[in-house]
Amino acid sequence: MMGLQINKKLLPMKFHYFLYNAGTGPVVAYLSSYARQLGFSSVVVGLIYTILPVSGMLAKPLFGSIADKFHCHKSLFLVNQLVTAVAFLAIFYSPKIELDHSVDFSCQSDVLALSTYMDGKLDKCTLEQIQKDETIKQCQINCKVDTNLTSLLCHEWDFPQYCFPPYPESLPFIAHVPKSKMSVTQKKDGSIISFGFSNITLNNKTITQPKCMDSSMFTTCVLECDDYDIMQMVTKPSISDSDVYSLYQFWFFLAFMVLMWVSMAITVSIGDAICFELLGDQPGKYGYQRLFGSLGWGFVAAIAGVLIDMFSKGKVEKDYSVAFYMGATFLVLDFVISSRVQHKQTKMSSNILRDIGKWLLDARIVVFLIWCVAVGMCTGLIWNFLYWLLEDLAASKGCDARAHIKTLQGLVQAVQCLGGEVPFLFLSGRILKKIGHENTMSLILLGLGCRLVLHSLVTNPWLTLPVELFNGLTFGLSFACMASYASIVAPPGTEATVQGMVGAVFEGIGVSLGSTVAGLSYRSYGGSLTFRYFGFSSFILCIIHVAAQYIIKVRVNYARSEEADETTPFVRTM
């Protein structure tokens, strides 16, 4: 029995893909939520995520050409792994914008209550889930002292020290708030959320079921509770979106987000170029290396989510420290392992710009880049709006379905990575060798059409799990096909430049454009119709791609036959 042969030269690359994705997965998945916790609104976060793909699109071909011109692939590859780790830690320690935890402290129907206004409507399922929590939360309430409050303290609660001045500027209370007694009044553009008290403690004196007689009693307080749900509802940015761009906190966060995104883009594109250099005349084996990345992302991102929830128990905010430190640690390990990659550039280009210019004039390359945009657009829809669709479907099934939506979304990640990407990346070399890259591209467009249309027809969100097995074909195989085809058609000495250009076209143009179009369509037509329209478009593009490849093949064969006729000696027959 023959033993399993392992190419030791490629082992560091396998470890790189695993460690790199294990490092980036736990952080990238939660960055938008972390940005909100730092005090940035959805509008500001949306702007940041518009800038990031553009920065990556510019960085990939630029640094790819630098690597090709100065033969510094490995140096750029290693340095940017460490830069990503540093950027992660810098983002984690980014200064917060001052947040507003103020609430109204007033007398409502002879009962004291806290109330706050929240933008947007609090849906009934969220409210029902919160009101099922029978625990009583302890809160610190620091209230502004005015005549309303001193009158309450003096005449109704029997605190004689507050009957006459001088009064302190503020008073700290300890209040116990039962979540189950929370009430919500829906307004046109938002919700008024009110909390009652089981008791209040001031100066070691406890008032049980505190009452009030003066309906005009009203003051402003700052609230700090040991409960994530309550703090999510009362916390608001202290400044407007238009003023946030003048704050150093915004520019600090944006600068390190861009640095992180650029360093990740460089690492990925140059890392793939190094991998194909090591593979030599066997580019079809790229999938065997890349599948370790899917394993790293799938396992570690899931573990990070569990650990975040575990470390956040009893805290006002989610504790993301474990995700950021895990990410940085894995990236440092990646640097150590990747430094053992035995890479030396053997192909050179005398004029990279000239070679790339000629490359772009090839009809095959034009069709390939258009294909990258099309696949990128569909991928942008899936990346940014699949969870929206799942939440909409769950909402239509009632509150019990909504209660398990995060579990479902976690299982979707597992199916995508482990059930879809890993097997297709493992088989990608055989598939590409059997049917060729061009036919594989058409197959991927067909698979995208099936995946998106099936999502548009599903009414039970749990039925999306078997549909997501298509991720192996539409992302795992497409990633392998894209990277290996770029390596094959790249002019000698421009491999990193071409990998960077292809990545920029796929993500910077395709994913960004797809996200924009999908967002507009989702708002106008809803989730199911948006997925259906994208699916039908993918079917049409599949037909166009097959026709385009057929025309190119006919033209190439015709040109070859003409060339053969010109080189065949003419023999005159009598």
326-361 pLDDT, tens digit each: 999 999 999 999 999 887 766 666 667 788 888 888
Q: 211: which DSSP letter?
A: B
Judge whether residue 15 has pLDDT over 90: yes
The owner of tokens 């990575």 is 417
Could you tell me if residue 501 is inside a domain? yes
Statement to judge: residues 342 and 361 lie in one domain = no
Residue 244 near residue 40 (C-beta atoms within 8 A)? yes
Could you tell me if residue 314 is inside a domain? yes
Statement to judge: residues 417 and 546 lie in one domain = yes
Statement to judge: residues 90 and 123 lie in one domain = no
What does the block give as tokens for 120?
């947007």
pLDDT in the model for residue 532: 96
Q: What angle do CA 325, 320, 305 make, to 5 degrees?
A: 95
238: pLDDT confidence band, cut at 50, 70 and 90? confident
What proportion of the chain, given as a percentage, has pLDDT over 90? 30
Q: Which of 346, 367, 386 is the last residue of a domain?
A: 346
Statement to judge: residues 339 and 457 lie in one domain = no
pLDDT in the model for residue 403: 65
What proportion of the chain, given as a percentage, has pLDDT over 70? 93
Model confidence over 90-99: pLDDT tens digits?
A: 999 999 888 8
**CB burial readout 516-542, b (16+ within 10 A) else e:** ebbbebbeeeebbebbbbbbebbbebb
Judge whether residue 368 has pLDDT over 90: yes
Q: Which of 346, 378, 399 is the last residue of a domain?
A: 346
Could you tell me if residue 565 is inside a domain? no
Judge whether residue 20 has pLDDT over 50: yes
Extended strands (E) in 327-419: none
Mean of pLDDT values over 549-568: 77
Could you tell me if residue 564 is inside a domain? no
Statement to judge: residues 448 and 534 lie in one domain = yes
Q: What is the CATH number of the domain that holds 491?
A: 1.20.1250.20
Taken as a whole, the chain contains a residue count of 574
From residue 301, give the alpha-carbon distance in Å to each of 23, 118, 151, 404: 9, 31, 54, 19
Could you tell me if residue 50 is inside a domain? yes
431 alpha carbon, distance to own chain's centre: 29
Could you tell me if residue 1 is inside a domain? no
Identity of the highest mean pLDDT range in 130-134, 313-317, 319-323, 446-450: 446-450
Mean of pLDDT values over 33-42: 81
From residue 167, give the alpha-carbon distance in Å to each of 150, 164, 254, 501: 8, 7, 44, 68
573: pLDDT confidence band, cut at 50, 70 and 90? very low
Residue 420 near residue 471 (C-beta atoms within 8 A)? yes
The owner of tokens 């879809």 is 420
Judge whether residue 406 has pLDDT over 70: no
571: pLDDT confidence band, cut at 50, 70 and 90? very low
Return all residues near 255 (Cβ < 8 A) that are at least 6 apart. Answer: none
Number of domains in the chain: 3
Higher pLDDT, 406 or 439: 439
Statement to judge: residues 103 and 218 lie in one domain = yes
Statement to judge: residues 151 and 28 lie in one domain = no
Q: 121-125, 312-316, 444-448, 524-528: which has the minimum mean pLDDT?
A: 121-125
Amino acid (one-letter) located at 504: A
Its sign, for the CA torsion 252, 54, 376, 330, is negative
- Taking the C-alpha atoms of residue 447 and residue 514, their distance in angstroms, rounded to an integer, is 17
- Taking the C-alpha atoms of residue 273 and residue 344, their distance in angstroms, rounded to an integer, is 11
The closest of 453, 479, 449 to 464, measured between CA atoms, is 453
Model confidence over 477-517: pLDDT tens digits?
A: 998 999 899 988 888 888 888 888 898 899 888 988 888 88
Statement to judge: residues 262 and 340 lie in one domain = yes
Judge whether residue 120 has pLDDT over 70: no
Statement to judge: residues 342 and 352 lie in one domain = no
2: pLDDT confidence band, cut at 50, 70 and 90? very low
Mean of pLDDT values over 386-393: 84
Q: 197: which DSSP letter?
A: -
Flag whether the pTM goes above 0.85.
Answer: no
**CB burial readout 376-395, b (16+ within 10 A) else e:** bbbbbbbbbbbeebbbebbb
β-bridge partners, 136: 178
Statement to judge: residues 264 and 136 lie in one domain = no
What is the phi-psi region of residue 519: left when phi exceeds 0, alpha when psi lies from -120 to 50, beta otherwise? alpha
132: pLDDT confidence band, cut at 50, 70 and 90? confident
Mean of pLDDT values over 551-561: 84
- Taking the C-alpha atoms of residue 416 and residue 120, their distance in angstroms, rounded to an integer, is 32
Judge whether residue 572 has pLDDT over 50: no
Q: Note down the domain range covering 281.
A: 9-97+242-346
The closest of 375, 410, 201, 384 to 299, measured between CA atoms, is 410
Q: Which of 299, 320, 346 is the last residue of a domain?
A: 346
Mean of pLDDT values over 310-315: 78
Cβ count within 10 A of residue 46: 12
Statement to judge: residues 406 and 540 lie in one domain = yes
Statement to judge: residues 113 and 47 lie in one domain = no
